[in-house]
Amino acid sequence: MTESKAVERDPESVSRFVEHFAAQLVEAGVPRMPSRIFAALLASDTGTLTSAELGEQLKISPAAVSGAVRYLAQVHLVSREREPGSRRERYRVHSDQWYEALTSRETIIKRWEEALREGVASLGADTPAGRRLTETLAFFEFIETEVATLMDRWRVHREKTFGQG
């Protein structure tokens, strides 16, 4: 027996990782099917899977795949590509997709900020509550600028560690 090539692609190992990692995402508030599909893509060899492959591997209906993928695309955790000359669609995780996902959270923060500004206006900037809201608002604005520069640093760090993948 030669030493390696090890346990690669053992379906059961893959499934165990997929379900375990998905469970962690679920605990953090991500809906179940999207979590499972995302984990399956992460654990795939090419980083892409078709709807049919996902349905078979996870034992779920095409409808479930469709709904979950729509969710994942909306939060920018996967992208969808048309296989040229086929009606088949491939779903993909980019390794830098976390970047997209994080920055898309900014949309949500923007809405928080908007609500806070209205609150300051209607409660009065010179009231205790108004001052509290103002400071909260400042925190989010600060975070927003920081996330941008943070991502620049990540890209530098990533290239240094992995080469330009």
Partner DNA sequence: CCTTAACTTCACAAATTTCTGAAAGAAGCG
Partner DNA sequence: CGCTTCTTTCAGAAATTTGTGAAGTTAAGG
Binding positions for a second copy, rule: CB under 8 A: 4, 6-9, 13-14, 16-17, 20-21, 24-25, 27-29, 42-47, 93, 95, 98, 108, 111-112, 115-116, 118-119, 122-124, 126-129, 132-133, 135-136, 138-139, 142-143, 146, 150, 153-154, 157-158, 161-162, 165
Q: Which is nearer to DNA, 62 or 124 (CB)?
A: 62
Residue 137 binding result from a second copy, DNA, none, given CB thresholds of 5 to 8 Å by partner type: none
Q: How far is the CB of 153 from a second copy (least distance, A)?
A: 7
DSSP H/E element including 91: strand 89-92
Q: Rounded to whole angstroms, how far apart are CA atoms 33 and 76?
A: 16
**120 beta partners:** none
The residue with tokens 């809201």 is 133
Structure tokens at 16: 């165990």
Q: Which is nearer to DNA, 40 or 120 (CB)?
A: 40
Return the sign of the alpha-carbon dihedral for residues 121, 124, 129, 131: positive
18 scored as a contact of DNA (CB under 7 A): no
Structure tokens at 161: 């560690």
Q: Which is nearer to a second copy, 61 or 70 (CB)?
A: 70
Chain centroid offset of residue 106 CA: 13
50 scored as a contact of DNA (CB under 7 A): yes
Q: Residue 47's closest CA among 39, 55, 36, 35?
A: 39
Give the residues lining the site for DNA (CB under 7 A). 31-33, 50-52, 59-70, 80, 85-89
